[in-house]
Structure 1
Amino acid sequence: KLQCILCLSSALPAVEAQLDPKPWPRINQTHLTPSALKNRKEGLKVQGSSFTLEGFPFLIVAGTIHYSRQYWRDRLLKLKACGFNTLTTHVPWNLHEPNKGQFHFTVDLDLRTFLAIASDVGLWVILCPGPYIGSDLDLGGLPSWLLRDPKMKLRTTYKGFTRAVNLYFDQLAHQVVSLQYVWGGPIIAVQVENEYGSYNLNTNYMPYVKKALVTRGIKVLLMTADDGQQLTKGHLKNVLATVHMKNINKGTYKDLSAMQGLSPILMMVYTASSFDKWGMIRQAADPHMLKKDVQEMFKLRFSLNFYMFHGGTNFGFMGGAVFLNTYLPGVTSYDYGALLTEDGAYTPEYLTFQEYFSSVLELPTSVQPEDAPKTAYKSLTLSHFLSLWDILPYMDKPVKSAKPMSMEMLPVNQGSGQSFGYILYETTITKGGVLTSRGHVRDRGQVFLNERPVGVLDRSTEELTLVKHGYQDYHTLRILVENQGRLADGQDMDGERKGLIGDIYLNNSPLRKFTVYSLEMKPRFLRRNIPDIWKPVTDQVQGPAFFLGYLRVRDPPRDTFIKMAGWTKGVIFINGHNLGRYWNLGPQETLYLPAPWLHSGINEIIVFEEVAPGLEIQFTKQPQLGRA
């Protein structure tokens, strides 16, 4: 459970002299909205212990929403209706530049439209452009092709990194500069990087990022954000330091006061919970403690940002991992114990905070959307299958390599390597014995001998025994490796290459002469020209295999959840969209399927099951994310 580590009322002797802890009267900020401020002269400023906007005292009440999700206007209207006045959003570099030099700012990644909608519903914006954003994403939102450089030093002034950042920021600036406050846009502040104090590998890096933003036209208030323990290490001169709730103590406020004197305090990440990891119990927050902490912050005139207001889903392979004494990959859901559920429904906590905010803030009237209707479609049997071995002849030409090579080093995607999904290594052996990985499998490798499963090599199992069957001289050894998510933070990110990152040994001798297949599972992978070789499913079918079925949907399509009871581990695709991973390891039991990914009529469902399939897939109206 969430522990009360703020201890605000007893941890503030350093700021009591500058903060009057008496409760404020009900705060009227109805005149400080995007629609009300037509003639803008002075944006967000620091005036003593307060923020001001156009010279008026302004309390930032923000919530984080990531735009690489669904239902933008609905989620933003719900943020506004709860009593928040500001949206915080992070810009994922790896989604905007998935291949080196190829930028995407359209459809689900249309940042300008997302920010325009935020302004339209009456929200200000704090933009977090990175380049590193964390957010529990794969490599913290950095593109994996950076790791093709064997000397890469992420989040430093290493030339290979800054050269890539400069090209990316050139593109990003075209999207956001004109949306700043001074030009009538909603952006009132920009965060420089994210929690750099915990990384802190290069003293010149943060000044470089600041300069990279300013020289490209960023003029609004700049801020840094760090947890209490690392606050001074991530600070920049003449940039407002804000704090995350982690590791806050009396010294935190002394450090703030010493660094920037009299200043407002922004709790940039007040977190409800955390993201769930496969094989662990579900994270949960204490709503009573949450409200107590927020009340204490308002009493002390703190601004705050609620992370996450809406978490949603890490569709596809977006999610990252953490290292907490062991490697822990995140589940597909990014529910995060947020004020809105994964599918955007109101929680009891949302209503509690809405009531509280309305008692302390005088808010403009806003539209409060109803929750989108859900449905439970009839259970569906997947009638046909295609084994992974059957599809290999129809794949793109594999790579021949004397030694294993990581995903990132594959000569695919116009020289950008492979980012996500699976990779298959194939070689021949002439004898059995002990197969040893020596920690070179990242992250989970299923081992097959002549298509017969032998076992799994991963971070906890580094040795398997191979027993030859039959009298043939040569046997095909295959290792199907899954990238379960790169670390989202930590100083080991430079080494987060996936697949086989080094030699695999048989009886202490390194194996050689590999055929390597890229199985990135992009929509194009599923839509390749395959002859009609799908086979009817029987009770004897095992993975790894693709299973095909069709879902008939009446108009209009509605949100639903897929429950993979009886299945083991794999990925689900709906009309080419990757919903994400399922795994009977838990805690997550359902996958969110948003209505926009369905259409009336026949919808194609393909399941890639790694081990053993179930009989059918089921649908439900409610998420089932496991017990806390």
Structure 2
Amino acid sequence: MPVSYGKDEGIRQFKKGGPIVAVQVENEDGSVAKDESYMLFIKEALQSRGISELLLTSDNHNALKSGGVGGAIKSVKLQRLNQKHIQDLNAIQPNSPAMVMDYFTGWYDVWGDLHHVLPPEDMVSAVREILRRGMSVNLYMFHGGSTFGFMSGALADPSYKALVPSYDYDAPLSEAGEYTPKYHLLRDLLQRYNRGETFPDMPALHYREDYEPAIMYQHLSLWDALSFTEGPFKSPRPVNMESLPVNNGNGQSYGYTLYETTITSGGFLRSGDNVRDRALVFVDRSYIGLFKRQRVELVVPDGKDQRTLSLLVENCGRVHQGMDLDNQHKGLVGDILLNNIPLRDFTIYSLDMKPSFIDSLYKAPWKTLPDTPSFPGFFMGRMFAYGYPSDTFVKLPQGWEKGVVFINGLNLGRYWSIGPQQALYLPSPFLNSGINQVIVFEEQEGDYKIHFEDTPDLGMAADIQ
């Protein structure tokens, strides 16, 4: 299990009466770094700090030989049970216990794709065979989760794809803690290995509720909210968000960054793949197009005199595994060219949208929601939870395009009409009994209400291949 390896962990080890029976030295080093000296350093660092329990490493089946370190048992990651993968593990360490460190019960979901599922019968069949062979197994994931706020990651292989907020992962226990068919099948299987003792009764589930829709009644243009940001900052060249002089000199980590400069002509605007990861582009605050990693050129309309060019850049999520880990700066990471000339002299606004920023907007010049609101913009409404609040799911109906939902100032997560995920899990502790403030930041197209439903909507499902 992951621990911080401080002084307290020494007394938490099993040999000293604690619950820690094993410690994983590293994860997938054989697929990425393949650094023997680093692995040896980490192992010795653990042991010198008093870790004396069983040491483990974990790698994909095709990296077992290049991963690991002497004195630590190698374990394998699997989803579809392949006899050769087990044989490879046993051949490398024939006299050691065999363990599937990560048996994947589902998989990640990325925007614009389908919701990945692994049929329950396939999962329990693989776990049954693993146990029949006398191997140990750890399920990844056993309980689904949520990456609230802007914390969802991304994949880079073969190309960049941002993950959705839900980490339900088609796990035996769902994102909201619900029992699934996988859970019941797994419970029945594991009962056979419980030495005749009966499992405890399953805990009662949390009640979930569909509340009345929240009606949006006020609107705030993004441009009118800029005065509530930290800054702005002047720079002759683009500056990535992590290098901005915000948050006591620690830079910006998540959210959006707005870059503005002056242009005197139209022409071809080229990003040179320096937008990380997606940018709405405006001239005099009128939308003209979109930059993303696969689209690196836009036409800027001709115009007279000086005009303001704005790029609202979104950090869609950092890659969390693989060879691209060291290349995760966000915002503008290099020059933007207009007619092959680099743009200069930027005014930069940090829009990390932390609770302090959202709370400060109560002083902003909100207006009654017009028939044709401007975008990007903030929409405010209220939802009512009578009595003790229950879990629910926030669903933005057709009419909303892409943005972020805030409940009582807390960033619940992103939504995007392209799916697959169509509803955000809202746990009851986020809600107050009575009135709850709902703010939606919408990039391009909005509606006048959002729904609260008692069932998740992770999108159209497809079996993992």
Distance in structure 2 (CA, Å) of the matches to 1:189 and 1:280: 37
Offset of residue 419 of structure 1: 1.2
**Which amino acid counterpart does residue 389 of structure 1 have in structure 2?**
W
Q: Which residue of 2 aligns with 1:500?
A: 332
Q: Which among 359, 363, 370 is matched to residue 538 of structure 1? A: 370
Q: Kindly indicate whether residue 300 of structure 2 is the aligned counterpart of residue 466 of structure 1.
A: yes
Residue in 2 that maps onto 1:338: 171
Q: Deviation of residue 257 (structure 1)?
A: 4.0
Residue aligning to 2:284: 450
Which digits, 9 at most, give the CA deviation of each residue in 1:222-246, with x for residues without a partner? 1000011001211110101111016
Q: 1:233 aligns with which of 66, 76, 80?
A: 66
Q: Does 1:316 align with 2:149?
A: yes
The residue number in structure 2 matching 1:85 is none
SS of corresponding position for 2:348: strand
Higher share of residues assigned strand: 2
Which residue does the alignment assign to 1:616? Answer: 449
Q: Return the alpha-carbon distance in structure 1 between the equivalents of residues 361 and 83 of structure 2.
A: 64
Question: 1:65 matched to which residue of 2?
Answer: none
Give yes or no for contact 2:270–2:337 (8 Å, CA) kept in 1.
yes
Report whether the alignment pairs 1:281 with 2:114: yes
Structure 1 CA distance for aligned equivalents of residues 80 and 237 of structure 2: 45
Does residue 528 of structure 1 match 2:382? no
- Give 1:605 shift: 1.1
Residue 136 of structure 1 is matched in structure 2 by: none
Shift of 1:325: 2.6
- Whether the 8 Å CA contact 1:227–1:246 is kept in 2: the answer is no
AA matched with 1:220: E
1:120-159 residue pairs with structure 2 within 5 A? Answer: 127-129=1-3
The one-letter amino acid of 1:299's match is R
1:305 equivalent to 2:179? Answer: no
Candidates 381, 385, 389, aligned match of 2:215: 381
Please state how far the C-alpha of 1:251 moved relative to its aligned partner.
5.7
Question: Is the alpha carbon distance of 1:200 and 1:252 closer, same or farther for their aligned partners in structure 2, counting shifts above 3 Å?
Answer: farther
Using the alignment, how far apart are the partners of 2:88 and 2:126 within structure 1? 21
State the distance in 2 between where 1:254 and 1:358 align.
27
CA distance in 2, matches of 1:615, 1:549: 9
Match of 2:234 among 400, 405, 414: 400
1:59-208 superposed matches below 5 A: 127-129=1-3, 173-174=6-7, 176-208=9-41
Which of structure 1's runs of 4+ aligned residues deviate more than 3 A? 174-178, 246-261
- Which residue of structure 2 aligns with residue 561 of structure 1? 393
Q: Where does the alignment leave 5 or more consecutive residues of structure 1 unmatched?
A: 1-126, 130-168
Residue 552 of structure 1 pairs with residue 384 of structure 2 = yes
On the 8 A contact 1:394/1:530 being kept in 2, the answer is: no
Which residue number corresponds to residue 11 of structure 1?
none
Aligned to 2:102: 269
Aligned twin of 1:63: none
CA contact (8 A) 1:173 1:217 kept: no
What's the counterpart of residue 266 of structure 2?
432
Amino acid at match of 1:459: R
Compute the TM-score of the two structures, normalised by the length of structure 2.
0.95
Task: Describe the shift of the 1:613–1:176 C-alpha distance in structure 2 as closer, same or farther (beyond 3 A).
Answer: farther
Q: Does 1:372 align with 2:206?
A: yes
Q: Deviations over 1:358-409 (max 9, x none)?
A: 1232346434211100000001111111111001122211221111011111
| Deviation string, structure 1 residues 74-97 (Cα, Å, up to 9, x no partner) | xxxxxxxxxxxxxxxxxxxxxxxx
Please state whether the residue corresponding to 1:349 is helix, strand or coil. Answer: helix
Q: Which of 239, 245, 252 matches 1:418? A: 252
1:475 matched to 2:349: no
Q: Distance in 2 between matches of 1:436 and 1:482?
A: 17
> Who is 2:458 aligned against?
625
CA shift digits 1:272-328 (9 cap, x unpaired) = 110111000111112211121111111111110111001211111121111233211
Greater Cα shift, 182-191 or 358-367: 358-367
Amino acid aligned to 1:522: K
SS at match of 1:619: strand
Q: Does structure 1 retain, via aligned residues, the 8 Å contact 2:281–2:311?
A: yes
**Count of equivalent residues:** 459
Cα pair distance change 1:249/1:350, threshold 3 Å: closer
Secondary structure in 1 matching 2:125: helix
1:604 corresponds in structure 2 to 437
- Cα pair distance change 1:174/1:354, threshold 3 Å: same
- Residue type at the aligned position of 1:445: A
Could you tell me how far apart the structure 2 residues matched to 1:358 and 1:257 are? 27
Shift in Å at residue 261 of structure 1?
3.4
Residue 310 of structure 1 aligns to a residue in which SS? coil
> What one-letter code is carried by the residue in structure 2 that aligns with 1:128?
P
Q: Deviations over 1:99-128 (max 9, x none)?
A: xxxxxxxxxxxxxxxxxxxxxxxxxxxx12
Deviation at 1:255, TM superposition (A): 4.7
2:170, 2:148 → 1: CA distance? 17
Unmatched tracts of structure 2, length 5 or more? none
Residue 583 of structure 1 aligns with an amino acid whose one-letter code is W
Inter-partner Cα distance in structure 2 for 1:383 and 1:554: 21
Tell me the SS of whatever aligns to 2:27.
coil
Report the structure, 1 or 2, having the larger helix content. Answer: 1
Shift of 1:186: 1.5
Aligned AA for 2:405?
I
Look up the equivalent residue of 1:357 and give its one-letter code. L
- Tell me the residue number matched to 1:6: none
Instruction: Give the Cα separation in 2 of the matches to 1:315 and 1:348.
Output: 26
Aligned position for 1:69: none
Letter in 2 for 1:428: T
Structure 1's 247 and 329: CA in aligned 2 closer, same or farther, altered over 3 A?
same
- 2:400·2:446 contact (CA, 8 Å) conserved in 1? yes
How much does 1:193 deviate?
A: 1.9
CA distance in 2, matches of 1:369, 1:267: 28
Please state how far the C-alpha of 1:479 moved relative to its aligned partner: 0.3
Q: By how many angstroms is 1:249 displaced?
A: 5.5
- Pairwise mapping of residues 561-600 of structure 1 onto structure 2 (< 5 A)? 561-565=393-397, 566-600=399-433
Alpha-carbon contact 1:555-1:599 (below 8 Å) kept: no
Distance, in Å, in 1 between the alignment partners of 2:321 and 2:141 is: 18
Secondary structure of the corresponding residue to residue 429 of structure 2? helix
When residues 177 and 319 of structure 1 are mapped into structure 2, their CA distance, relative to the original with a 3 A threshold, is: farther
Aligned partner letter, 1:356: L
Contact 1:571 1:579 in 2 (8 A): yes
Cα shift at 1:194: 0.9
Partner of 1:516: 348
**Aligned partners of 1:128 and 1:192 also within 8 Å:** no
- Taking the aligned partners of 1:574 and 1:519, their CA distance within structure 2 comes to 18
Cα shift at 1:352:
1.2
Judge conservation of contact 2:191–2:199 (CA < 8 Å) in 1.
Answer: no
% of aligned pairs identical? Answer: 44
Paired residue type of 1:499? G
Deviation at 1:458, TM superposition (A): 0.5
SS in 1 for 2:299: strand
- The alpha-carbon distance between structure 1 residues 434 and 559, as it changes in their structure 2 partners (threshold 3 A), is same
Question: Which amino acid in structure 1 is aligned with residue 346 of structure 2?
Answer: F
Partner of 1:110: none
The alpha carbon displacement at 1:496 in A equals 1.3
